[in-house]
Amino acid sequence: MARPYDLCVEISLLSGWLPWTLRILALVAVAAALARISPFWLRRRLPWVVGGSIGLTALTALLVALVGGVDDPLPFGLWFWLCCALLGLGGLAAGLRNSSWWNLAAVPVAAGLSLLCAANSLNISTGYYPSVDAAVGDLSGAPVPQQMSLDEARNTVGKATEGRVVQVDIPAEPSGFKHRRELVYLPPAWFRSKVRPKLPVLEMIGGQYAAPDNWIRAGEAIKTADEFAAAHNGFAPILVMVDATGSFKTDTECVNGAHGKAEDHLVKDIPQYMEKTFDTATGPRSWGVIGWSMGGTCAVDLAVVHPDVFGRFVDISGDDGPNVGSKQVTIAQLYGGDAAAWEAHDPATVLGKAKKGVYQNSTGLFVVGDQETEKHLTAAQNLDKAAKAAGLTTEVRVRPGKHDWQLGSLAFKESLPWLAKEFGLPGVTG
């Protein structure tokens, strides 16, 4: 059944006519809200409105930088459009007595459109909502495309032309980690027989501010997996869009710490549930982990710390190790002051101390964008060198893109054939 917003699926929020139309309309509305023919307004009031709006915007930016807990700089467009919204409101406050009806009517339009442009500037910098469809679907809480219940999946047998997504509530046993419901993609080959094929599994982890469906709505993981399955007789890995943080604002870095035992959830809860519920393949040769941004850091860390669980990993734009700031801050806030716990989860340290043969069956990819900051490429190169020295087979790939979900989507699409080969997926060769 088609969803009512599917007609908007091709309307991009990142480029094209819609973002530019919103910007032009917002600027016209702001101009209409400020326009007066009074010389007094133009000489005395308007400069104060402009200066005050710029000052409030600068103060807001400073407060966000100091106490907002935001590590990376926010885009200039966010602050520009916030300033435009304040200009419209300021024009009303300072020039109410000289306002015409169209000045008054333009104020809420100017403020609303400017705030919408500000939000989309942030969206463009991260790529969370590539289209109107993705935004409406997520914000309305609608099911993801191709979703069915677990009972429906269990009772579906026969030829399928596309995979299906099942929302699952994985028991937090033994971790006790409080998490949101997670999503499982089952490729077409899974449905062909009552005796389910033992397919490999790939856990997928998003960024710091994440929800399990980000890999579907922003990363287009289901579209990519279906395209791959169509070219390989219906076979693709089973994908698990996991919840590694427990909430949108929580940063666990996928370790056991102050925010719960996220690591145990990923390493223990999910594998035992997937193997029991979906009769998946077992063992590190058939289990992998991929992540973007924080998820990339998680991917390499989980594969390095738990080679008995994950034998394959793809680190997309990750850091050199789990962190919430400096080493001292990370030890204090993430590990509760336990320096040994930090050392046990620092990939370079763990790799440097590894015994010979521990990683002889482990493989991985590091993917970074050519427009990202230098730290991501440096981290990938350093970890690649340390991984090779410890016996892993790894590679660094530099792809076109910046630090956003579009790079994550591209990296997954290009790494899926490699993963399938490493998993030994039927019908996949070199």
Q: List pLDDT tens digits, range 389-406.
A: 999 999 999 999 999 999
* Per-residue pLDDT band at 93 (split at 50, 70, 90): confident
* Residue 208 pLDDT: 86
Alpha-carbon gap, residue 79 to 54, rounded angstroms: 9
| Spatial separation of the C-alpha atoms in residues 316 and 366, rounded to whole Å | 6
The model's pLDDT over 281-298, given as tens digits with 9 standing for 90+, comes to 999 999 999 999 999 999
pLDDT exceeds cutoff 60 at 319 = yes
Contact 130, 215 (CB under 8 A): no
Note the pLDDT tens digit of each residue in 139-180: 888 889 899 999 999 999 998 899 999 999 999 999 999 999
Residue whose tokens read 């942030």 = 122
pLDDT, mean over the chain: 92
CA gap 307, 288 in Å, rounded: 10
> Among residues of the chain, what percentage have pLDDT more than 90?
77
- Tell me, what DSSP letter sits at residue 97? G
**CA-wise closest residue to 317 among 421, 411, 223:** 411
> Pairing state of beta strands 238-241 and 182-186?
antiparallel
Provide the token pair at 378.
Answer: 């440096």
- The kind and range of the H/E element at 379 are helix 374-390
Output the pLDDT for position 205: 98
Query: Rounded to whole angstroms, how far apart are CA atoms 295 and 283?
Result: 22
Tell me which of 3.10.450.50, 3.40.50.720, 3.30.70.1060, 3.40.50.1820 is the CATH number of domain 145-423: 3.40.50.1820
Q: What is the pLDDT of residues 272-283, one digit of tens each?
A: 999 999 999 999
> Does residue 311 register a pLDDT over 90?
yes
What average pLDDT does the segment 18-31 reach? 96
Distance CA 185, CA 257 (A): 29
CB 279 within 8 A of CB 198: yes
Q: How far apart are CA 186 and CA 134, in angstroms?
A: 21
Encoded tokens for 264? 């145990």
Q: Name the phi and psi angles at 372, rounded to 5.
A: -80, 165
Domain coordinates in residue numbering, the chain: 9-126, 145-423
Q: Are 357 and 305 in contact (CB under 8 A)?
A: no
Residues in Cβ contact with 100 at an 8 Å cutoff, skipping those fewer than 6 apart: none
Residue 317 corresponds to which amino acid?
Answer: S
* Integer angstrom CA distances of residue 206 from 211, 245, 331: 7, 9, 23
DSSP 218: T
Q: Is residue 81 pLDDT above 70, yes or no?
A: yes
Q: Return all residues near 257 (Cβ < 8 A) that are at least 6 apart.
A: 334, 335, 336, 341
Give the whole-number percent of the chain exceeding pLDDT 70: 94
- Estimate to the nearest angstrom the gap between the alpha carbon of 63 and the chain centroid: 25
- Among 38, 32, 136, which Cα is nearest to 91's? 32
For residue 16, which of 127, 131, 114, 118 has the smallest C-alpha distance?
A: 131
